[in-house]
Amino acid sequence: MSQLPAQSDAASPKLDRSATAGIRASLTAVLISSALGVVKIIAGIFGHSYALIADGVESMLDVASGLVVAGSLKLAAQPPDEKYPFGYGKVEPTAALVIATSLLAAATIITIQSVREILKPHLAPAPFTLVVLVVVVATKEVLFRYLANAGESIGSQALRTDAWHHRSDSLTSLAAFIGISIALWGGKGYEQADDWAALFAAGIIAFNGWRLLRNAWREMMDAALPEHITDDIREIARQVNGVAGIDMCRVRKSGLGLWVDIHVDVHGDMTVRDGHDIAHRVKDALLASKHNVMDAVVHIEPADD
C-alpha cells in the first residue's frame, strides 16, 4: 500500500526567508556593479583603454543579471497553486540559463571588438586606469565571495551563477590590468597589449559561461543531487518511530526547494491507519529538517521479515 500525504505549507516560511536573503544579496551587488560599470566605462574612454571599456560592459551585464536573479527568486518563492501544483521553482534555474547565455554573448562581443582594436593603431592607455582596476578587482572579488556564500546557504543555482559572473568580471579586470601595465612599460609598439588582455579575458568569460550553462541545464533536467543530501534525507526518515527501513528515495531540486519521493518499510501486519500515521510523521520530519523540502510523497511498503 502507499500513502500520499496532503501537501503542506510548512516549508513556505523557510523558502520565504531564503528568497528574501537571496534578493537582498542580489540587489546589493546590483547597486555596486552599477557604480563600478559607470566608472570603468568613463575611465576606459578617457584613458584610451578598450579592455577597461569591455570590463565596464561586463559590469553592466552584472547589473542586468542581478535584476534577473532577484526577480527569479521572488517568483520561485511563490507557493504552489492549481495552475502550477509543483510550484514556480523552475524559474530560478531558468534565470541561471539566461545569465550563463549572457556571459557567452558578452564573450563573443568582446572577442570581436578586441580583434578589431588589435588590427588598428591607437593610443596607449593612460596610467590612471591602473588605479581604477586595482579598486575594481578587489571589489569584485569581495562581491563574488559574498554572493557565492549566499547562494550556497540558500541553495540557489541562479545566485551561484551570478557570483561567477562577478568572478569573471574580476578576472577581466585583472587581465586588463596586466595588459595596460605591459602597454605602459613597453612603450611604443606595445599599445595593443591592452586589447590582447581583453581577448584573453573574453576566453575566461566564455569558459565560465559554458560551465554555468551546463550546471543550470542539469538542474532543469532534474539531475541527481549530491549523494550526501539524499543520504541525509534517508536517515531523517529512518529515524522516525515505526519505520523499519528505507526501500527507495528520490530527490529533485526545483528552485530553492526539494521534492522528495520516498518508500519506507513498516511492519507487514500493521493496519492501514497506523501506516498512514507513520507516513505523516515521515513527511513532517522531512519538512521540519534543515533542507528546504517543499513536499514529500511517502509510500508505505511491508518490511521483509
Taking residues 28-44, what's their average pLDDT? 86
> What is this structure's pTM?
0.66
Q: What integer pLDDT is reported at residue 237 of this predicted model?
A: 96
CB atoms within 10 A of CB 235: 12
Cβ 162 vs Cβ 66: under 8 Å: yes
Which has more pLDDT, 284 or 110?
284
Q: What is the pLDDT of residue 197?
A: 77
Q: Report the 10 Å Cβ neighbour count for 290.
A: 8
How many whole angstroms separate alpha carbon 183 and alpha carbon 122?
11
Q: Name the 3-class secondary structure at 143.
A: helix
pLDDT in tens, 160-175: 877 877 787 787 778 7
Model confidence pLDDT, tens digit, residues 217-275: 888 888 888 888 999 999 999 999 999 999 899 998 887 788 999 999 999 888 999 99
Using CA atoms, how far apart are residues 56 and 44, in angstroms rounded to an integer? 8
- Name residue 3's beta-bridge partners: none
Between 197 and 293, the higher pLDDT residue: 293
β-partners of residue 23 are none
How large is the angle between the packed helices 12-46 and 157-186, nearest 10 degrees?
20
- The average pLDDT across 9-32 equals 76
In the predicted model, is pLDDT for residue 7 greater than 70? no
- With contact defined as beta carbons under 8 Å apart, do 28 and 69 qualify? no
CA distances from 144 to 22, 28, 53, 54, 58 (A): 14, 12, 21, 19, 14
Is the CB of residue 172 less than 8 Å from the CB of residue 137? Answer: no
How far is the C-alpha of 296 from the C-alpha of 230, rounded, in Å? 13
Mean pLDDT over the full length of the chain? 82
Percent of the chain with pLDDT over 90: 17
With H, G, I as helix, E, B as strand and everything else as coil, classify residue 93: helix
Domains of the chain: 12-220 (1.20.1510.10), 227-302 (3.30.70.1350)
Is pLDDT of 5 > 50? no
pLDDT in the model for residue 51:
67
